[in-house]
């Protein structure tokens, strides 16, 4: 058995329980990973609150993780035991239910196609913060058909996705002018991410912004108001469902390890930096508090969980399998 957070009915964060669940066995294309850090996403709360992307009960929440490979299926070719890996383990693009066993457990199984090796220059916590948000951020640029040299207006520059959209616009997609919105306390933070200009939405209304942009990228679902900053016929990307303006195009993430591999040079060169909310990383025992904070909608970057418990019995189980000795 292993420790995990799970829920057996839909509801508020209080339905979450910390307890023992069986250790999973990796299938032929899967790896068994000892989780060292995980990150929360709004989808983890939404799935817990109602039957959205259902899985079987008891359901362990969590998509994003970073950890160490401890066993692998027979057809795995890209990874070996001992590799440090990271990824979003829930394939939202696949048919059928999502995995019952999410990332908030000591050990998880994941298909090798969904993960990548962790860049050596970042911690497990930093790595865990990236996958789902960066996969979403990149898909939005594709949805917009973004071209080098275009200007971009980003609504929600301080959130898990927005912090990455700003950095990608600057360093990956070659935007000529990046403007992002946030509230007063986060203006300096958003500037430091690389935005050329930050709009404090508590002081300035969209309709008072004179410049019009080649692309509007709305991460908070405010298109019904924000559309006024887009040029006529400019793509308006909304990552929330349903989009709140007839011109807005809904953009949904593609889950794959390949995307993370493509970003490796930008992560290793420090151009793309993980943004961990300063209230964290939270300890494994404090997952409910971490969800409470995420659900305020005020997170700055990503809400990260670290320090997984690793009971002696589970640790020994895998050490025994690998080294055939365990004291």
Residues that bind ligand NAP (CB under 6 A): 41-43, 133, 136, 155-156, 158-162, 181-183, 186, 201, 219-220, 222, 239-240, 251-253, 294, 297-300
The least CB distance from residue 83 to ligand NAP, in Å, is 26
8 Å CB contact between 183 and 208: no
Residue 22 host element (H or E): none
Closest-by-Cβ residue to ligand NAP is 159
CA–CA dist 305, 283 (Å, integer): 6
The least CB distance from residue 244 to ligand NAP, in Å, is 12
Q: In terms of CB distance, is 32 or 195 closer to ligand NAP? A: 195
Q: In terms of CB distance, is 214 or 222 closer to ligand NAP? A: 222
* Count of Cβ atoms closer than 10 Å to residue 23 Cβ: 17
> What are the start-end ranges of the H helices in 37-179?
42-49, 124-128, 131-144, 160-171
- Tallying the residues shown for the chain, one arrives at 327
The least CB distance from residue 153 to ligand NAP, in Å, is 11
8 Å CB contact between 133 and 103: no
Q: In terms of CB distance, is 270 or 297 closer to ligand NAP? A: 297
Q: In terms of CB distance, is 43 or 98 closer to ligand NAP? A: 43
The least CB distance from residue 26 to ligand NAP, in Å, is 27
The least CB distance from residue 177 to ligand NAP, in Å, is 18
41 Cβ contact partners less than 8 Å away, ≥ 6 residues apart: 63, 64, 132, 133, 160
Q: In terms of CB distance, is 92 or 310 closer to ligand NAP? A: 92
CA–CA dist 42, 147 (Å, integer): 29
Phi (first) and psi of residue 320, to 5 degrees: -60, -45
Q: In terms of CB distance, is 5 or 291 closer to ligand NAP? A: 291
* Count of Cβ atoms closer than 10 Å to residue 37 Cβ: 26
CA–CA dist 191, 187 (Å, integer): 6
The least CB distance from residue 190 to ligand NAP, in Å, is 8
Q: In terms of CB distance, is 55 or 275 closer to ligand NAP? A: 275
167 Cβ contact partners less than 8 Å away, ≥ 6 residues apart: 193, 194, 271, 272, 273
The least CB distance from residue 103 to ligand NAP, in Å, is 15
């Amino acid at each position: 058995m292993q420790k995990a957070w799970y829920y057996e009915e839909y509801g508020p964060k209080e339905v979450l329980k910390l307890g023992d669940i069986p250790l999973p066995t990796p299938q032929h294309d899967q790896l068994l990973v000892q989780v060292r850090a995980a990150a929360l996403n709004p989808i983890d709360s939404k799935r817990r609150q109602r039957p959205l992307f259902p899985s079987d009960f008891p359901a362990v929440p969590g998509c994003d993780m970073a950890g160490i490979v401890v066993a692998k299926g027979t057809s795995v070719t890209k990874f070996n035991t001992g590799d440090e890996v990271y990824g979003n383990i829930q394939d939202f693009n696949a048919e059928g239910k999502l995995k019952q066993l999410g990332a908030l457990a000591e050990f998880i199984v994941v298909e090798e196609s969904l993960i990548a090796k962790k860049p050596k220059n970042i911690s497990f916590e930093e790595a865990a913060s990236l996958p789902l948000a960066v996969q979403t951020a990149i898909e939005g640029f594709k949805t917009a058909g973004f071209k080098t040299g275009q200007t971009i207006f980003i609504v929600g520059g301080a959130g898990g996705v927005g912090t990455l959209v700003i950095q990608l616009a600057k360093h990956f997609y070659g935007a000529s002018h990046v403007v992002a919105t946030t509230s007063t306390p986060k203006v300096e933070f958003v500037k430091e991410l690389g935005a050329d200009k930050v709009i404090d939405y508590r002081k300035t209304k969209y309709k008072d912004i004179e410049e019009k942009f080649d692309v509007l990228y709305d991460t908070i679902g405010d298109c019904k108001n924000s559309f006024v900053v887009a040029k006529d016929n400019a793509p308006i990307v909304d990552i929330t469902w349903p989009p709140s303006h007839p011109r807005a195009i809904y953009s949904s993430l593609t889950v794959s390890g390949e995307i993370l591999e493509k970003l490796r040079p930008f992560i290793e060169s420090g151009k793309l930096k993980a943004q961990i909310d300063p209230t964290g990383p939270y300890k494994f025992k404090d997952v409910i508090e971490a969800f409470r904070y995420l659900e305020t909608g005020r997170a700055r970057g990503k809400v990260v969980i670290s320090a997984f418990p690793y009971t002696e019995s589970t640790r020994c189980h895998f050490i025994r399998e690998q080294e055939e000795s365990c004291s």
